Structure 1
Amino acid sequence: MSFDLSVISSKNILLAVTGGIAAYKSAILVRRLKDYGFNVRVVMTHGAQAFIQPLTFQALSGNPVHTELLNPEAEAGMGHIELARWADLLLVAPASCDSLAKFAAGLADDLLSTLYLATKAPVWVAPAMNQQMWAAKATQRNLNTLIEDGVHVIMPDAGSQACGDVGLGRMPEPEEIAQQVKLYFHQAERAIAEKFGLLAGQRVVITAGPTREAIDPVRYISNHSTGKMGFSIAAACYAAGATVTLIAGPVSLDTPNGVSRINVSSAKHMLDESLQSLERGCDVFIATAAVADYRVAEVAEHKIKKAGDELAVALVKNPDIVATIAGQSKRPFMVGFAAETRNVEAYASEKLVVKKLDMIACNDVSRADIGFASDQNAMTVFFAERYKMDKRELEKASKQEIAQQLVEAIHDARVK
């Protein structure tokens, strides 16, 4: 499953490392969290420093490591309060038996235990200890207290331990913990979007990528579309609170997080799936796919062998997907796209009227910097005359940024 990293790029993780051999895993965890786009700061107890040096975490996180409760270099000497306010999540990994006991008892005799009491952020703990210490009644009692207090416990794994014992108590692998943190923030963002997003509660269907029209079993007609723009729009619509179905031609892209994907090949297949999506419910239909205008009249049953200098292939017109959907009795809000190489705005304006669209976004694919394979785009958006809205110029930006602006344009038109 892929994720939109823009959702978590501004989130702050305060990683607390306590004493235990599993502290070496925390160094890897910092790297994984950074890879996912989180801002990471590290707090170390004195016990943790016996296993791994603060310099390691400073190099990996890119931030100074915090080890002392009273820091004369911090503003007003209240570094623990600054850190407590900075964190979006306090993650204690590994969490020693001693740290769990301090949290449960409400002690505040070092930096970490003070942070635990001072932060309003969610607290996660990943206990790591000897299997007998984990099984001890006092430890389990402390865990139950923390769970009742709202602390999220990442349960330890079973296996061989550094002491030679075998059993529960191993800290889970860093990748697993990082994945859980990432998923938590995406789910939190989604819950907000479903209530307050620009497309909250809306059902959006998007076509993306090229189509392939078979000539014979090994050859086909297609185009240079990569699907990047459509996939970016799908991610933006989901982030805006919509339920998104992505009908994708053959492209090499990961499905955006939370989006339902239907893979198709030909224009007819894409049309069939689009019509079925209307039956399931569709409020907004966004046609970004670069659909082949023509298909071969008769597909050869076997591979056509090379013979002579010329080959004549009869072509017939493909169905017009966007016009067909726009012509339905219960039509959704229709958004079309026009990828042109000349007279871009004139062709787009004509397409808007002829195909009875509500909105159309056009771009000049002859430009190398914003063409099919580019990660950037620039567009002009036109609206149907009944909306009484001026055209919008979307200046050159990443396709993710352009997608967000298109979502805003759709929202603005629909609330008119």
Structure 2
Amino acid sequence: MARVVLGVAGGIAAYKACEVLRRLRDSGHDVRVVPTANALNFVGAATWEALSGHPVSTQVWDDVHEVPHVRIGQHADLVLVAPATADLMARAATGRADDLLTNILLTAHCPVVMFPAMHTEMWLHAATQANVATLRSRGVVVVDPDSGRLTGADTGPGRLPDPVDIRAVAEAVVEEPGLAPGAAAQDMAGLRVVVSAGGTQEQIDPVRYLGNHSSGLMGIGIARAARLRGAEVILVGAHMDHEPPAGVSVRRVSSTGDLAATMAELSPQADVVVMAAAPADFTVAAAAGHKIKKVGDAGLSLDLVQTTDVLATLAASRHEGQTIVGFAAETADSREHLLELGTAKLARKGADLLVCNDVSGGKVFGQARTSVVVIDRDRIVAEATGSKQVVAHRICDAVLAQRAD
């Protein structure tokens, strides 16, 4: 259980912070809400107290004997500000300490993550961008806002991401605080990353298909991690059990043929291509145009043919300076066997890096946690065990290291 300070600034998106709080509490974290005075115009103190189980104050003058303006920040494992308004970030960037939240931001020893939310013009203003750059230079993780419907009829960048995204980032930083420096530094800025995720579906007839157990969670995690670290990200999503992260472009596909065509279209413009999707190795030679009916006790035979080897095709057509990352979901008897299978697959496919994991007994698929070994042609370059969001950052680290060689 982590001790999380949830700072809430005075914007209409403050109502979404109620759901962020609920999700963090449901995950077992102890959350104390510290709103600004303006935030209480949108969500009252009674709501925050009822949902968090802690008293709420906006000023340093309450419970002075406990020195809250210092103690709260010193004892926190994470300070999460959602929403962070233009005003709050301006005060934080200049070191103001005129309410309890800004005092906490000055005294916290833990990672600080801010999710800005404001109108597009305010987000794009030079002053706001300068404040964001200042905060990032000091190690604060400032997550670019989502694009979409804002207050009234306005649309554009400035929307607070979905609470699911906010919790995913917050919990990854809590689990592994070492992720924060890369995100704050935007160490993948300037890179175009194409990530595939999910399992393909091969049509048998209009109502049936051949598929697999891939949930898409690993690919979604990589897309979220790369975007958090500043990359321009396109997610090519086959069947996914989870919503794509905020801030990424999404291309939907169904079959392995669709996946191959879309990846071939997008990869020439990419610096990094991550094939985290689980494409089918076989497809039906000729799908039926009508629903196949049962006839007596007779079974059903399907004529299957091999699909396009998407990873090998991408690796064979890579351009100079491009990094190709593949995945190997194997049923291995041991770690040595897993590495043996991964090494052989890497040689066949021609990728630069291969992420190997053992899926024996149904592990990994659809689960929140995983364990991987990342290899190149010569050695193990990374190993990681933890939530898929943390592992996604470790894979990004391996990509950056490979590109620096």
CA contact (8 A) 2:5 2:34 kept: no
Matches within 5 A, 1:46-57: 57=48
Superposition deviation, residue 14 in structure 1:
5.9
Superposition deviation, residue 356 in structure 1:
0.9
CA shift in 2, pair 1:73/1:381, >3 Å: same
Q: Separation in 2 of the partners of 1:319 and 1:364? A: 24
Superposition deviation, residue 262 in structure 1:
0.8
2:360 aligned counterpart, secondary structure = coil
Question: Does the alignment pair 1:232 with 2:221?
Answer: yes
- Residue from 308, 328, 334 that aligns with 2:324: 334
CA contact (8 A) 2:199 2:216 kept: yes
CA contact (8 A) 1:202 1:283 kept: yes
**Cα displacement string for residues 113-154 of structure 1 (whole angstroms, at most 9, x for unaligned residues):** 7769989889x9x9xxxxxxxxxxxxxxxxxxxxxx99xxxx
CA shift in 2, pair 1:14/1:344, >3 Å: closer
Partner residue of 2:382?
392
Superposition deviation, residue 371 in structure 1:
2.6
CA contact (8 A) 1:339 1:365 kept: yes
Q: Separation in 2 of the partners of 1:26 and 1:379? A: 37
**Amino acid in structure 2 at the alignment position of 1:399:** K
**Amino acid in structure 2 at the alignment position of 1:333:** T
CA contact (8 A) 1:297 1:316 kept: yes
Question: Does the alignment pair 1:63 with 2:54?
Answer: yes
Question: Does the alignment pair 1:74 with 2:49?
Answer: no
CA contact (8 A) 1:326 1:357 kept: yes
CA contact (8 A) 1:27 1:57 kept: no
Aligned length, in residue pairs = 315
CA contact (8 A) 1:379 1:393 kept: yes
**Cα displacement string for residues 3-35 of structure 1 (whole angstroms, at most 9, x for unaligned residues):** xxx9xx96642679xxxxxxxx99978734623
- Residue from 229, 234, 239 that aligns with 1:245: 234
1:73 aligned counterpart, secondary structure = helix
- Residue from 349, 352, 364 that aligns with 1:355: 349
Superposition deviation, residue 196 in structure 1:
2.9
Q: Separation in 1 of the partners of 2:185 and 2:99? A: 35
Q: Separation in 1 of the partners of 2:251 and 2:14? A: 39
Superposition deviation, residue 398 in structure 1:
1.0
Question: Does the alignment pair 1:268 with 2:257?
Answer: yes
TM-score by length of 1: 0.62
**Amino acid in structure 2 at the alignment position of 1:283:** D
CA shift in 2, pair 1:181/1:11, >3 Å: farther
- Residue from 13, 22, 29 that aligns with 1:35: 22
**Cα displacement string for residues 90-123 of structure 1 (whole angstroms, at most 9, x for unaligned residues):** 9999xxxxxxxxxxxxxxxxxx97769989889x
- Residue from 269, 291, 299 that aligns with 2:287: 299
**Amino acid in structure 1 at the alignment position of 2:283:** R
CA shift in 2, pair 1:181/1:224, >3 Å: closer
Superposition deviation, residue 180 in structure 1:
5.9
CA contact (8 A) 2:205 2:291 kept: yes
- Residue from 354, 359, 372 that aligns with 1:379: 372
CA contact (8 A) 1:214 1:296 kept: yes
Partner residue of 1:255?
244
CA shift in 2, pair 1:290/1:30, >3 Å: closer
Q: Separation in 1 of the partners of 2:69 and 2:13? A: 21
Q: Separation in 1 of the partners of 2:318 and 2:99? A: 63
**Cα displacement string for residues 297-322 of structure 1 (whole angstroms, at most 9, x for unaligned residues):** 11122222222523222111101000
- Residue from 221, 233, 243 that aligns with 2:210: 221
**Cα displacement string for residues 21-69 of structure 1 (whole angstroms, at most 9, x for unaligned residues):** xxxx999787346237575125789xx9xxx997775443433344783
**Cα displacement string for residues 222-261 of structure 1 (whole angstroms, at most 9, x for unaligned residues):** 1111111111111111112111111111223211111111
**Amino acid in structure 2 at the alignment position of 1:248:** G
**Cα displacement string for residues 310-367 of structure 1 (whole angstroms, at most 9, x for unaligned residues):** 3222111101000001111526311111111124221110111111111101111114
CA shift in 2, pair 1:316/1:80, >3 Å: closer
CA shift in 2, pair 1:227/1:118, >3 Å: closer
Provide the aligned C-alpha RMSD in A. Answer: 4.5
Unaligned runs of 5+ in 2: 25-30, 86-96, 107-113, 119-126, 129-150, 153-157, 167-180
2:344 aligned counterpart, secondary structure = helix
CA shift in 2, pair 1:379/1:73, >3 Å: same
Q: Quote the sequence identity (%).
A: 29
TM-score by length of 2: 0.64
CA shift in 2, pair 1:313/1:255, >3 Å: same
CA contact (8 A) 1:294 1:315 kept: yes
